[in-house]
Amino acid sequence: MKGDWTSSLDLLIEREGGQGVRRGIESAIRQAIHDGRLKSGVELPSTRALASDLGVARGTVSEAYGQLNAEGYLLTQQGAPTRVAWTPTAAEAAPPKKARPALDLRPGHTNVSDFPRRAWTKAICHAIQKVPAEGLGYGDNRGRVELRTALAGYLGRARGVRTDADGILVCGGFTQAITILCQYLRERGARAVALEDPCAPRYRDIVRRAGLAVLPVPCDSQGMDVSALRRSDADAVLVTPAHQYPLGVTLSPSRREELVNWARSRGALIVEDDYDGEFRFDQRPISALQSLDGDHVVYVGTASKSLAPGLRLGWLTTPPRLRAAVIGIKERWDRGSGLFEQLALANLITTGDFDHHVRRMRGSYRRRRALLLDTLARCTPGVQVASGSAGLHLTALLPGDMAETDLVAAAAQRSLLLRPLGEFWAAPAPAADRPQGLVIGYGTPPTHAFKPALAALAEVLTAGHCVHPADDPQTPGLNSRSAGVTGADAGRRI
């Protein structure tokens, strides 16, 4: 298929000016030809397509193709596709390099190849031109007032968050936000934080590194089991109410109310990670939990999914009762986030470019999700989807003749990265005691690699029916006792 050659090509580009980028492209293509990954006659992407995928100038790719044509590696003709000109003999081939996975369907990532470079460049230039000289100093450790004001307005209309510029603290992404809050809790005598089970392993790591105990609380089809939370000794709870990670369900209205009442009665803190809150495909976004009680709920959001994690921009709301303490903790650690990144994001929000980008990405991820569902339907009869129609991943519950660890290992042999559901539970358990599943992220691959990634997944799933049967012929169901869930798409036979 046209363009599929890039699915196994690891483009290591030196970003040290135009010449470094060009040399990186040339070297990667030469190596792929020597390794036999690109064979004689294979059609390469157009210069425009490859430049778009890599985020470089089209002229840079044209120069690289031209050099490789001169060296005899490629055949370029006016009006015709560029093709590989030759395949080396065994004697000519270079020693094989260690294989590196090139296809990534792990969850928790976004398609950074669709980053709005033009709008961001415009916003950065505007920030550089307009910021006053005094603005280049250390400034307000809470974050630039322009960004905090823009965020307060955006979060209010898009997520229902009740706050103002004074109630927002800009930080270096989700990890710093949660670490700050854990430090606050520890300094005030808290001993334990409740977490959803299953959840992202890094949540548990952050809490433990802060010296707090982790209390796993099971989830069912309505989200976190608040009755189980009440029986715990938790001083705070971290939840993903909009799109539980990794199961994908939404915390039900009754559970939301129960959770807020629990926090009020105990004087506890709810930390709301608005995971994937902006990417819902079946209905309008659900309001943030913070809208129910701004005194007991701290809302945490980032630009990592909506724009790119490399920006290291996050934010949290600070209820008045803990505002000064939380700001003080951050001041002990750093002097604030990057000036121009903050001003650029503020500009994107106020001009409407941010909303436009989110809408565009919502459509892109909706289409990707549909293609992934179609792949599952064709290759794995009996699989169930335990995720609602939202976010950048879905959890596929496997039929009884398939084991998640075997599928992950088989995928690695095809240079495909997958994550088993088993990695997300708080404690290990026999496969027969828990549902077997894959947590599949459809946001990670760049545009040119998404369909090849699905093709590799299809091969793995198709072969998985023939080997490595699970010990239990029936996949255990998800229910409140097993701390699992079937969401809006669950129960739907694919």
Band (pLDDT 50/70/90 cuts) for residue 60 is confident
Q: How far apart are CA 85 and CA 75, in angstroms?
A: 5
Strand 83-84 vs strand 74-75: parallel, antiparallel, or unpaired? Answer: antiparallel
Residue 487 and residue 439 in contact, taking contact as beta carbons nearer than 8 Å: no
277 in a structural domain: yes
One-letter amino acid at 209 equals R
Structure tokens belonging to residue 371: 């293609």
232 in a structural domain: yes
**pLDDT for the residue 283:** 65
Structure tokens belonging to residue 239: 């939840």
Band (pLDDT 50/70/90 cuts) for residue 184 is very high
Answer yes or no: is pLDDT of 56 > 90. no
Task: Give mean pLDDT, residues 414-436.
Answer: 87
Shared domain for 45 and 139, answered yes or no, is: no
**pLDDT for the residue 321:** 93
Task: Give mean pLDDT, residues 239-260.
Answer: 93
Least confident of 10-24, 152-166, 227-241, 476-490: 476-490
CB neighbours (10 Å) of residue 14?
13
Per-residue pLDDT tens for 325-346?
999 999 998 888 899 999 999 9
**pLDDT for the residue 341:** 96
Count of domains for the chain: 2
34 in a structural domain: yes
**pLDDT for the residue 86:** 67
CATH code at 263?
3.40.640.10
Task: Give mean pLDDT, residues 85-93.
Answer: 59
Task: Give mean pLDDT, residues 52-74.
Answer: 82
Task: Pick the last residue of a domain from 327, 353, 379.
Answer: 353
Residue 411 and residue 418 in contact, taking contact as beta carbons nearer than 8 Å: yes
Answer yes or no: is pLDDT of 134 > 50. yes
Which tops the pLDDT comparison, 249 or 34? 249
Residue whose tokens read 């397509």: 49
**pLDDT for the residue 19:** 54
Shared domain for 86 and 132, answered yes or no, is: no
Answer yes or no: is pLDDT of 411 > 80. yes
Please give the mean pLDDT across all residues of the chain. Answer: 84
Shared domain for 85 and 131, answered yes or no, is: no
Shared domain for 312 and 210, answered yes or no, is: yes
Answer yes or no: is pLDDT of 466 > 70. no
**Would you put residue 33 in left (φ > 0), alpha (ψ -120 to 50) or beta?**
alpha
Answer yes or no: is pLDDT of 467 > 80. no
**pLDDT for the residue 71:** 76
155 in a structural domain: yes
Shared domain for 166 and 75, answered yes or no, is: no
200 in a structural domain: yes
How large a percentage of the chain has pLDDT more than 70?
Answer: 85
- Positions of E strands within 241-293: 269-273
Q: How far apart are CA 81 and CA 75, in angstroms?
A: 9
Structure tokens belonging to residue 183: 């430090």
Residue 93 and residue 38 in contact, taking contact as beta carbons nearer than 8 Å: no
Task: Pick the last residue of a domain from 330, 353, 376.
Answer: 353
Band (pLDDT 50/70/90 cuts) for residue 267 is very high
Shared domain for 133 and 210, answered yes or no, is: yes
Task: Give mean pLDDT, residues 74-86.
Answer: 81
Band (pLDDT 50/70/90 cuts) for residue 88 is low
CATH code at 57?
1.10.10.10
Task: Pick the last residue of a domain from 320, 353, 386.
Answer: 353
Band (pLDDT 50/70/90 cuts) for residue 471 is very low
386 in a structural domain: no
Shared domain for 73 and 165, answered yes or no, is: no
Which tops the pLDDT comparison, 124 or 26? 124
Answer yes or no: is pLDDT of 217 > 70. yes
Band (pLDDT 50/70/90 cuts) for residue 188 is very high
Shared domain for 319 and 188, answered yes or no, is: yes
**pLDDT for the residue 90:** 53
What does pTM read for this prediction? 0.74
**pLDDT for the residue 388:** 73
Residue whose tokens read 């739907």: 492
**Rounded-to-5 percentages of helix, strand, coil across the chain:** 45, 15, 40
Shared domain for 75 and 191, answered yes or no, is: no
Helix (H, G, I), strand (E, B) or coil at 114: helix
Q: How far apart are CA 294 and CA 313, in angstroms?
A: 22
**pLDDT for the residue 109:** 85
Task: Give mean pLDDT, residues 353-364.
Answer: 94
**pLDDT for the residue 285:** 66
Residue whose tokens read 């991820």: 365
Per-residue pLDDT tens for 312-322?
999 999 999 99
Band (pLDDT 50/70/90 cuts) for residue 51 is confident
Residue 358 φ/ψ, nearest 5 degrees: -60, -40
Which tops the pLDDT comparison, 276 or 29? 29
Residue 376 and residue 385 in contact, taking contact as beta carbons nearer than 8 Å: yes
108 in a structural domain: no
Prior bond of 435 cis (ω within 30°): no
Shared domain for 173 and 72, answered yes or no, is: no
CB neighbours (10 Å) of residue 396?
28
How large a percentage of the chain has pLDDT more than 90?
Answer: 54
Shared domain for 244 and 327, answered yes or no, is: yes
Task: Give mean pLDDT, residues 47-55.
Answer: 82
**pLDDT for the residue 346:** 97
Domain extent, residue 206, equals: 117-353
Which tops the pLDDT comparison, 467 or 43? 43
Number of H helices, E strands in the chain: 14, 16
Burial class (CB in 10 A: 0-12, 13-18, 19+), 129: exposed
Shared domain for 154 and 21, answered yes or no, is: no
Residue from 328, 304, 289 nearest 180 by CA: 328
276 in a structural domain: yes
Q: How far apart are CA 395 and CA 384, in angstroms?
A: 8
Which tops the pLDDT comparison, 287 or 469? 287
**pLDDT for the residue 169:** 97
